[in-house]
């Protein structure tokens, strides 16, 4: 497609030069590099409801880390703290050793994070391509020619080549999730977070999504955090898994260690999510 460069296009973009022409990007737009995350004694309450209780976690650079547990145990709230959508009552979160809530850091924060929301959170007024390129265009990161190339590349990574002109309303649930992932990838994030990625998806689509995330794990060097109550999904994808219960991390380990855990809360969760309801055992 011919890049937009006529008068009306320039007028619509306020004659800002970086968006119209050129194939270059800002110096800071580097490839993804996995980051380390330390969560220290994190606490959060909403009124009388103590949602997070002294949460401590260490996540290694490039690791795929899942947080599992029943609904209402504080998994998504924890995720929102990492992307600064919530502020902790106490405790801190360090990314590459830097406190993310430090207003005046000694060294400027040199990492990008992105989140794939449970509802995908795509913008209905924009096409698939416009959704994916939103951050690049709004932040004036690259020239228009390069942006279009990045959009195509990110959509290819999630298996949605040539879908950039589709409206988001025309997409299935699984495709929406993949567009949301492509939108996140357009930032070249060092950290990507998935909030209940398989929620509202059928098993076949969940499997497709798992393959997309697995593929990304191979092709892109980034740290991944997945919050899910889909045990199989988390165990399949993750290097390590933590289980949360009642606002606390009650178990942490590799998928094999979690499967063999003797912690009654973990066993109960595994049993109910793989066998059936708790009442069937009695």
Where on the chain is the footprint of other proteins (CB under 8 A)?
A: 11-16, 19, 80, 83-85, 113-115, 117-119, 121-123, 134-135, 138-140, 183, 187
Q: How far is the CB of 256 from other proteins (least distance, A)?
A: 33
What's the CA gap between 257 and 33, in Å, rounded? 28
Q: Which is nearer to other proteins, 225 or 235 (CB)?
A: 225
Q: Which is nearer to other proteins, 139 or 156 (CB)?
A: 139
Quote the tokens at residue 43: 């606490």
User: Which residue is associated with the tokens 């490039």?
Assistant: 62
Q: How far is the CB of 117 from other proteins (least distance, A)?
A: 4
Q: Which is nearer to other proteins, 12 or 54 (CB)?
A: 12
What's the CA gap between 181 and 158, in Å, rounded? 7
Q: Which is nearer to other proteins, 16 or 277 (CB)?
A: 16
Q: How far is the CB of 271 from other proteins (least distance, A)?
A: 32
Q: How far is the CB of 118 from other proteins (least distance, A)?
A: 7
Q: How far is the CB of 114 from other proteins (least distance, A)?
A: 6
Q: Strand (E) positions, 96-151?
A: 98-99, 113-116
Q: How far is the CB of 15 from other proteins (least distance, A)?
A: 7
What's the CA gap between 3 and 182, in Å, rounded? 21
Q: Which is nearer to other proteins, 8 or 48 (CB)?
A: 8
Q: Which is nearer to other proteins, 121 or 214 (CB)?
A: 121
What's the CA gap between 243 and 265, in Å, rounded? 9
Quote the tokens at residue 170: 């025309």
Q: Which is nearer to other proteins, 126 or 265 (CB)?
A: 126
Residue 264 Cα distances to 48, 59, 203, angstroms = 27, 24, 27
Q: Beta 64-68 vs 240-245: how paired, if at all?
A: parallel
What's the CA gap between 256 and 245, in Å, rounded? 20
In sequence order, the β-bridge partners of residue 244 are 249
Main-chain dihedrals φ then ψ at residue 93, nearest 5 degrees:
-125, 125
Q: How far is the CB of 6 from other proteins (least distance, A)?
A: 14
CA dihedral 214, 215, 217, 220 (to 10 degrees): -160
């Amino acid at each position: 497609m011919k890049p937009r460069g006529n008068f009306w296009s320039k007028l619509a973009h306020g004659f800002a030069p970086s968006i119209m022409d050129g194939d270059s990007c800002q110096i800071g737009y580097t490839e993804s590099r996995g980051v380390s995350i330390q969560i220290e004694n994190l606490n959060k309450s909403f009124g009388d409801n103590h949602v997070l209780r002294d949460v401590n976690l260490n996540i290694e650079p490039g690791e795929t880390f899942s947080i599992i547990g029943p609904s209402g145990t504080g998994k998504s709230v924890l995720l929102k703290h990492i992307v600064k959508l919530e502020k902790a009552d106490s405790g801190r979160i360090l990314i590459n050793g830097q406190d993310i809530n430090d207003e005046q850091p000694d060294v400027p924060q040199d990492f990008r994070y992105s989140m794939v929301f449970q509802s995908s959170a795509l913008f209905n007024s924009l096409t698939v391509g416009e959704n994916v390129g939103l951050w690049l265009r709004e932040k004036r990161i690259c020239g228009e020619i390069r942006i279009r190339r990045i959009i195509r590349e990110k959509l290819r990574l999630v298996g949605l080549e040539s879908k950039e002109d589709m409206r988001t309303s025309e997409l299935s649930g699984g495709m929406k999730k993949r567009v949301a992932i492509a939108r996140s990838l357009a930032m070249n994030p060092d950290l990507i977070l998935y909030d209940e990625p398989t929620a509202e998806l059928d098993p076949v689509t969940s499997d497709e999504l798992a393959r997309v995330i697995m593929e990304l794990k191979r092709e892109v060097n980034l740290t991944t955090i997945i919050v899910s109550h889909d045990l199989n999904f988390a165990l399949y994808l993750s290097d390590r898994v933590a289980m949360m219960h009642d606002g606390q991390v009650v178990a942490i380990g590799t998928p094999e260690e979690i499967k063999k855990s003797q912690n009654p809360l973990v066993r109960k969760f595994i049993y109910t999510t793989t066998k059936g309801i708790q009442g069937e055992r009695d």
